[in-house]
Amino acid sequence: MMRLKRQPGHPVWRRKLARFALLINKAIDDGETYLPIEEVRTAAREGRIFEFMRSRVPHHERLSIGHWTAEDEAVINEWCMALNLDRSFYVEKRGLCLLQAFVIQMMEEAADPGDSERE
């Protein structure tokens, strides 16, 4: 498993990342949104994934409903910037699929509530 260059200070739980993955999956399934891979990489490098998604994905309003705090969004943007964005993540054609791969990578690193007590 690839480790991130740095771990974020604020925890974004796996369940929130799973919800984000489902929203991306919905956009992929709709087939109405095409995001070029390089635009997704650029948004990730610049730490503006949520802003990018809100401006490009039609059902973006779900990304801002109560369960996403500004701190959560900042951490996800920070994680995106910490990924090796030159890797393909086995994605060659669609930026939404690349973003989904980013979220899967984050889920591998994320904690669940209570994880620190179990260690």
Report pLDDT digits (tens) over 56-84: 886 656 555 556 788 888 888 888 888 88
pLDDT band at 10 (very low <50, low <70, confident <90, very high): low
pLDDT band at 96 (very low <50, low <70, confident <90, very high): very high
Question: Sign of the C-alpha dihedral, residues 42, 47, 51, 54?
Answer: positive
- Say which DSSP state 113 is in: T
Q: How far is CA 84 from the centre of its chain?
A: 13
What confidence score (pLDDT) does residue 48 get?
Answer: 93
CA angle centred on 118, ends 114 and 119, rounded to 5°? 120
For the chain, the domains span: 33-110
What is the Cα–Cα distance from 87 to 98, expressed in whole angstroms?
A: 10
Share of the chain above pLDDT 90, in %: 25
